[in-house]
Amino acid sequence: MNKYQEITEARKLLELPERATMEEIKVNYRNLVMKWHPDRCKETKGKCTEMTAKTVAAYRIIIDYCNHYRFSFSKEEVRNHLSEEEWWFERFGNDPLWGN
């Protein structure tokens, strides 16, 4: 299995979309660990233990990928992640008709 397939399987197991924030990753991980934890799980003990282990392994794969991802801080990349308000202000600024 190649790295992409490994990450994709981990992402799917953690029920993540193709693009996710670190917060979404952590929330999904916590929810799944609570769901599958042997003390809380309604399935057989073996199934719960197996799914808990798979969830933890998937989280480690995703976190390892995120920790080694090279983020871009270029102007173009930062512009791709502006909020609606920032986008509007960047285009119209203090224009009397469209600005603040």
| pLDDT over threshold 70, residue 27 | yes
Distance (Å, whole) CA 75 – CA 7: 28
3-state secondary structure of 15: coil
Determine the Cα–Cα distance for residues 68 and 65; give it in Å rounded to an integer: 5
**Reported pTM:** 0.75
76's tokens: 């173009």
Look at residue 25 and tell me whether its pLDDT is greater than 80: yes
Residue 15 has pLDDT above 80, yes or no: yes
Instruction: Report yes or no: 55 and 35 within 8 Å, Cβ to Cβ.
Output: no
99: pLDDT strictly greater than 70 = no
Tell me the two tokens of residue 70.
């090279």
The tens digit of pLDDT for each residue in 30-80 reads: 999 999 998 999 899 999 999 999 999 999 999 999 999 988 889 888 888
The pLDDT of residue 1 is: 84
Domain residue spans of the chain: 3-69, 71-100
pLDDT of residue 31: 97
Q: May I ask the CATH architecture of the domain 3-69?
A: Orthogonal Bundle (1.10)
* Residue 42 DSSP one-character state: S
DSSP structural state of residue 79 = H
Contact 56, 33 (CB under 8 A): yes
